[in-house]
Amino acid sequence: MKRWVIILTGLVFTGFIAALIVVIFVYNKPHPDYEKIDAEYTLTAADLYQAYIANKTGAGIKYSGKVIAINGKLSKVENAGSMTICVFAFNKGMFGDEGLRCTMLPKFREQANIFKPGSAVTIKGYCSGFTDTDVILDKCSIVK
């Protein structure tokens, strides 16, 4: 009888510790390292922008929430607060230039700021979606 109680207590305790470890691990799991994730799609900046302009919902299903690599000629690099944003402009609208806005990961800010307008670049990042004026890529890294 006593032996059974000891075995049962041991099992419950082990199960509790295992569950606790899993919860802590899941709760504290780190954010993905977007620089290391392979792009699901590679296309030109203009094609990605046009895809959202032509069919916002369809493009959202295909590209939003995915890691995408885009290439094209850079229009400008903006710095706002602690953010560096590579801009590919294809239109003018209420908020100014419209197109693709790629917010760079901290380690790529300096490199991005060296780019001149017209530079041909390939940038990879997490596609957050379309704001009705711009396609937003976050956590971007410079591929080329």
Partner 1 sequence: MKKTILTIICLLVAATAVNAGIFATKTGYIKFYSASPLEKIEAHNHQVNAALDATSGDFVFQILMRSFEFEKAMMQEHFNENYVESDKFPNATFLGKVTNIKDVNTGKDGTYEAIIEGKLTIHGVTQTVKSNGKFEVKEGKLSGKSKFNILLSDYKIMIPGTVTNNISKSIEITVEVNLDKIN
Of 15, 83, 107, 120, which one interacts with partner 1 (CB under 8 A)? 83
Residue 35 interacts with partner 1 (CB under 8 A): yes or no: no
Residues 6+ apart with CB under 8 A from 79: 85, 113
Amino acid identity at 47:
D
Measured from the CB atom, the residue of 27 and 120 that comes closer to partner 1 is 27
- Beta carbons within 10 angstroms of residue 49's beta carbon: 23
Residue 26 interacts with partner 1 (CB under 8 A): yes or no: yes
Shortest CB 72 distance to partner 1, Å: 19
Of 44, 50, 119, 133, which one interacts with partner 1 (CB under 8 A)? 133
Residue 128 interacts with partner 1 (CB under 8 A): yes or no: yes
Measured from the CB atom, the residue of 5 and 80 that comes closer to partner 1 is 80
Range 95-114, binding partner 1 (CB under 8 A): 95-96, 101, 103
Amino acid identity at 113:
N
